[in-house]
Chain A
């Protein structure tokens, strides 16, 4: 059995790096990433699981970091936008109007990245099911859908 007091020392594996740090047991993963580790790509835009702006990947699955405690994810692989470098989906967002203000972008990109890994083949229903977890207020979603298509195309061409 593992027990943490109100303030505890834990070890997190974020973007492949291990990091020991003191947190409150009540600290969300989002708060720890942003305030303790300086990883501010994920945003606190609702802190209620509604908007997806804080999405990170936990063991390759998209999760909303605002509704997870940091103490829960000790030892698990956490990927934030800062750990994503020059991927097809990022390039696609850049070239296809996938963002405007950029605030929802890290969450969308991480969710889409996980989606492309889990479902390399196009399937509109699945795309919608996954990406409905995030809110974008600027693009009307047109550019985001175009970006996803473009990334799929790049990946298919890349793997040929």
Chain B
């Protein structure tokens, strides 16, 4: 009879506003006196800036200010400070911001940006990460050795290597000596973009009392505040970040995006509010996207299929600036083997600069890339062993007692990978992983991939929550988690409701986050919000509950142990008909109207990350954090006439500990799968010889459309996370991890070839079947890039 909302599909808290189109994103805010910015970006991918002529532009109507890199040459970056808000001396990628105009209207700003003339002197291009990591490659950042960085990363001066993470487990030489079968493969994944539906937007102003107020589309308002404070030496108290809900984040709105530049522009016009609203083209090319990756791997196993050794070389292509990719390449090293028990591991994971649009955090955080490499390797190995690829995975699946690459011992509560693999295979009707002819021209085949992801978060990052009880007994839940579409705030409301045993209807959450009034939250990234904020919310709700019980205890003159609660009231355990409603307790009315207290009940809760994550710079040995395990499998149908194909069914089975809201959980999983399917089959930046992007719009950067999606088969296994809220752990991005590998495995099986490069367009399939001479195989050599502002 008591309300319980955990495990139930509750209508989203942001739902009504979203279906009515009335919810406000940053670009929907209007302000009196807002000025507009337009940004002039680089047409060259690597070049020295010889001159910038702003004379004509500055004379156009409505123009209030024009800024270039020299006006404020600071360097920004969360982990490695390498990026100026506007290019200084040189440009390093096509689309890099070089100058910015502030004008009365967006049209005037854009017209003026069009008139800024920039002269460049071309520099040699650094095209791919593998070559870029070699000694003697042209350098993007000559001063890398002088940049400041956090000590968790290791840049190599006088090189293009922004971070180098090493894993040395066991003895790799004897590992391969003990192997009967060894396979080697080279793989690559091109760079791409989040393409969140909402282009990044920021409005910055400096109010007359000096308060810097910034409305921005960010996943990390508190981090933006901290970084701005550091970059511009503004006290934290002088910065207010207001972050309305986002039109999708996927990692791309973490860290500093447009905020620093918007602040500088506002400063240039005496503090008046300035709006930068990315066009789609700017959002794809100028702002951060998804990194690329190249890999070479060697796997060794016994004839029975027991993995003995893995030698893994990962080159993460971060593009022109390192941003989060220095941490992504590190995360990929920590998880480098995928969820398999391998006694001897040698991994070098590099984050390498190239002259491409720069990458940042992206759903999967490097795990999709490493999984693509390892899981393709597993299929190649299975083929060589003459073994069902599923069986090979089951033999090596990591389990309690096994160690990870960083030598952490897995525990029982980390989840059950074998069950995930078996269920995923069952869901798509695996049958030995063979091929099936549908007709003369059509083949069906299946592919599978295991996956794992650690929530890699620094020690002492935390979350806080406040639960206040209003005089009607309803509850306000205050927390700093951002609503990106993932629905975490609804799930947190469910958790608060669960603690208090009230209906979720009686829990109010606030969608926008304001750093002045919202409790501190580290960042809404890494699929950790439900876990961390969930713990804080439980504590806050329990605190509020205890205060309610205290009041009741005083009132009934009974110890708290003699009381129970539910349905919005506290009652006497022995005599449930003696009770008092939350409304009365909260209002302090007491019984028969005698006032017991007028103080509002406010519960406090917080959670600090207890799982330490530091690894030894030479061996990678360290302590791990919370792993989510899972498996994904797909069935594809290929037409061998034109090599078009369709992913018919895609299954995802993950051990998520506990499902808080099944509808939200499924939505996250399915959405991740769809995005990863895009990465596998359509999404990549295409470059011409000058490394200019040829497909910088949504017409040509192709994401999945309705009707192109598979039938989704989603199941959850619930091995409770001992310290998770109600046993839950993260699931927001994990489902993106195994899909590209599974699709490549299925298509490779169907065609009897090895497809080791994404995206898997029909021509790539055809070419794997009919290889051409190298000279003819170069697909993209010519092309006129889109004209940028």
Cα distance, A4 to B352, chains bound together (Å): 55
Whether A143 and B667, one on each chain, are in contact in the complex, defined by CB atoms closer than 8 angstroms, is yes
A81 on the B face (CB < 8 A): yes
Q: Which of B16, B17, B194, B706 has the most CB of A within 10 A?
A: B706
- The stretch of B25-33, B321-329, B546-554, B610-618 in contact with A is B25-33
Q: Scan B252-293; emit 1 where CB is below 8 A from any A CB, else 0.
A: 000000000000000000000000010110000000000000
Main secondary structure of the interface of B (DSSP, over half): loop
- Chain B positions within 8 Å of A140 at CB level: 670-671, 673-675, 704, 709, 712
The closest CB in chain B to the CB of A82 belongs to B21
Q: Which of A47, A80, A101, A145 has the most CB of B within 10 A?
A: A101
A44 on the B face (CB < 8 A): yes
Query: Which chain A residues in 36-94 approach chain B with CB under 8 Å?
Result: 38, 40-51, 53, 80-82, 84-85, 90-91, 93-94
Cα distance, A136 to B279, chains bound together (Å): 18
- Chain B positions within 8 Å of A84 at CB level: 20
Query: Which chain B residues in 15-57 approach chain A with CB under 8 Å?
Result: 15-25, 27-28, 30
B575 on the A face (CB < 8 A): no
Whether B20 and A81, one on each chain, are in contact in the complex, defined by CB atoms closer than 8 angstroms, is yes
Q: Which of A95, A100, A142 has the most CB of B within 10 A?
A: A100
How near does chain B come to A108, taking the closest CB pair, in angstroms? Answer: 9
Cα distance, A100 to B22, chains bound together (Å): 15
Partner of A137, one of B16, B17, B22, B195: B195
How near does chain B come to A133, taking the closest CB pair, in angstroms? Answer: 8
Q: Scan A124-147; emit 1 where CB is below 8 A from any B CB, else 0.
A: 000010011011111111111100
- Chain A positions within 8 Å of B663 at CB level: 97
How near does chain A come to B111, taking the closest CB pair, in angstroms? Answer: 11
A109 on the B face (CB < 8 A): yes
Partner of A100, one of B107, B194, B279, B485: B485
- Chain A positions within 8 Å of B705 at CB level: 132, 135, 141
Number of interface residues of B (CB under 8 A): 54
Cα distance, A38 to B248, chains bound together (Å): 22
- Chain A positions within 8 Å of B19 at CB level: 90-91, 93-94, 98-99, 105, 109
B196 on the A face (CB < 8 A): yes
Main secondary structure of the interface of A (DSSP, over half): loop
Q: A45-B199, A102-B485 are in contact. Are A82 and B22 (CB under 8 A)?
A: yes
Whether A45 and B22, one on each chain, are in contact in the complex, defined by CB atoms closer than 8 angstroms, is no
Number of interface residues of A (CB under 8 A): 54
Q: Scan A102-131; emit 1 where CB is below 8 A from any B CB, else 0.
A: 111110010000000000000000001001
B487 on the A face (CB < 8 A): yes
- Chain A positions within 8 Å of B24 at CB level: 40
Query: Which chain B residues in 666-709 approach chain A with CB under 8 Å?
Result: 666-667, 670-671, 673-675, 697-699, 703-707, 709
How near does chain B come to A101, taking the closest CB pair, in angstroms? Answer: 3
Whether B667 and A139, one on each chain, are in contact in the complex, defined by CB atoms closer than 8 angstroms, is yes
The closest CB in chain B to the CB of A145 belongs to B706
Query: Which chain A residues in 13-28 approach chain B with CB under 8 Å?
Result: 24, 26
B: residues with CB less than 8 A from A are 11-12, 14-25, 27-28, 30, 107, 194-199, 245-248, 250, 277, 279-280, 484-487, 663, 666-667, 670-671, 673-675, 697-699, 703-707, 709, 712
Beyond the given A43-B25, A109-B19, A109-B21, could you list 9 further A-B residue pairs with CB under 8 A, ordered by the A residue number? A40-B24, A45-B197, A48-B699, A82-B20, A95-B11, A98-B19, A103-B25, A135-B197, A138-B485
Q: Which 10 A-B pairs have the closest CB atoms?
A: A41-B21, A101-B485, A103-B247, A140-B674, A81-B21, A102-B18, A100-B485, A106-B21, A40-B28, A128-B707
